[in-house]
């Protein structure tokens, strides 16, 4: 999933947001870019300190421990939670930031991963989910209230949101070409060093990292993929992955092996990938009909088939001969 082409660049890699974050800035001004790169990393660390459920002092952790009281949060956190609630409503709860207790209970991606008992899952599920979360702004001060026992988790949207914030900064600082890679959430700023769209491979869901099934060609776009293969554990021959169906509290039984979305808005792309994966084919097709114009590429789980929306057709090319394309 790394764009092809040899640029004049300054780049850096750090472990952030639970993943490897790679930043590449392309152009001439090396000294300025070194400083910009360090400032971007500082911004990621700052935002992680607000949004992470793994940092006790973060806004989200404080909220999850507040037992139903109003909690004062930064405007950034209020904005992201508001955005999350809006997308949760748009997707009828397929994306639900109130999934925190379920995520913690299963512990997928941690050494404590296990299959919980049905009673534990029932206890961790919130029947109304995101609808029980309230954001209030008052003269520049922001507050959020969640009922006791409801925990937020922004893992399915925060990387995209961080990418959007970094992009705004780059635009303000006059950086015209860059690649922001937040562990598979890619943002391609401007066009490639050759002055053409960036070429980007989409990860094959059943093959080692770096092997792709198709290519997209884009400028100024975010490319985000969600799939069960990213984080999972196996028990008694069953694979349990990290994308949950908020209706059941179990890993979503999806028709898809992966969902990729290509959009300017990285937070939206991130959250919708997760949502469309959870919805499965029938609901996803209805959603796309209602919300036309979205560029999405799906790999079907049952057959070697790729579904491509009309908007994505313009930029996607299949490279794996074992797959066929459907619209």
Residues making contact with ligand FAD (CB under 6 A): 17-19, 48, 51-52, 54, 95-97, 99, 103, 109, 153-156, 158-159, 184, 226, 230-231, 242-244, 246, 270, 273-274, 278
Number of other CB atoms surrounding residue 277 within 10 Å:
27
CB of 184 to ligand FAD, least distance (A): 6
* Partner whose footprint covers residue 96, from Mg ion, ligand FAD, none (CB < 5 to 8 Å by kind): ligand FAD
Q: Which stretch binds Mg ion (CB under 5 A): 40-48, 54-62, 64-72, 267-275?
A: 267-275
Nearer to Mg ion (CB atom), residue 26 or residue 87: 87
* Partner whose footprint covers residue 233, from ligand FAD, Mg ion, none (CB < 5 to 8 Å by kind): none
Indicate the residue whose CB is closest to ligand FAD. 18
Question: Long-range pairs for 74-80 at CB < 8 Å and ≥24 separation?
Answer: 74/50, 74/142, 75/140, 75/142, 76/47, 76/50, 76/165, 77/50, 77/51, 77/142, 77/144, 78/135, 78/137, 78/142, 78/143, 78/144, 80/51, 80/154, 80/157, 80/158, 80/161, 80/267
What mask of x and - would describe binding to Mg ion in positions 142 to 171, judged by CB under 5 A?
A: --------------x---------------
Nearer to ligand FAD (CB atom), residue 104 or residue 145: 104
Nearer to ligand FAD (CB atom), residue 150 or residue 175: 150
Nearer to ligand FAD (CB atom), residue 192 or residue 274: 274
- Smallest CA-to-CA distance from 30 within 163, 168, 170, 175 is with 175
Asked if residue 266 binds Mg ion (CB under 5 A), the reply is no
| E-state strands within the chain | 9-16, 19-26, 71-73, 134-138, 141-145, 177-182, 185-189, 198-203, 212-218, 221-226, 232-235, 238-241, 256-263, 295-300, 305-308, 316-318, 324-326
Asked if residue 254 binds Mg ion (CB under 5 A), the reply is no
Nearer to ligand FAD (CB atom), residue 99 or residue 150: 99
């Amino acid at each position: 999933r790394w764009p092809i082409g040899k640029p004049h660049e300054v780049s850096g890699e750090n472990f952030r947001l639970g993943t490897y974050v790679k930043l590449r800035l392309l152009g001439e001004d090396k000294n300025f870019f070194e400083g910009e790169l360090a400032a971007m990393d500082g911004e990621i660390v700052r935002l992680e300190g607000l949004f992470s459920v793994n940092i006790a002092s973060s806004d989200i952790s404080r909220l999850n421990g507040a037992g139903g009281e109003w909690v004062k949060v930064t405007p950034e956190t209020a904005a992201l939670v508001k955005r999350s609630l809006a997308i949760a409503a748009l997707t009828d709860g397929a994306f639900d930031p109130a999934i925190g207790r379920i995520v913690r209970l299963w512990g997928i991606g941690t050494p404590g991963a296990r299959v919980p008992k049905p009673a534990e899952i029932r206890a961790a599920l919130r029947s109304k989910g995101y609808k029980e979360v309230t954001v209030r702004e008052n003269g520049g001060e922001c507050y959020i209230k969640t009922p006791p026992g409801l925990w937020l988790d922004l893992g399915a949207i925060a990387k995209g949101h961080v990418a959007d914030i970094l992009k705004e900064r780059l635009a303000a600082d006059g950086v015209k070409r860059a690649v922001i890679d937040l562990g598979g959430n890619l943002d391609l700023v401007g066009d490639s060093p050759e002055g053409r769209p960036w070429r980007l491979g989409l990860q094959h869901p059943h093959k080692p990292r770096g092997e792709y099934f198709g290519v997209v060609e884009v400028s100024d776009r975010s490319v985000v993929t969600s799939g069960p293969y990213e984080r999972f554990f196996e028990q008694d021959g069953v694979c349990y992955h990290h994308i949950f169906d908020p209706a059941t509290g179990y890993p979503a039984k999806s028709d898809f092996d992966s969902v990729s979305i290509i959009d300017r808005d990285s937070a939206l792309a991130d959250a919708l990938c997760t949502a469309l994966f959870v919805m499965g084919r029938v609901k996803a097709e209805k959603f796309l009909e209602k919300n036309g114009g979205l560029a999405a590429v799906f790999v079907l789980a049952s057959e070697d088939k790729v579904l491509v929306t009309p908007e994505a057709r313009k930029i996607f090319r299949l490279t794996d001969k074992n797959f066929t394309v459907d619209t």
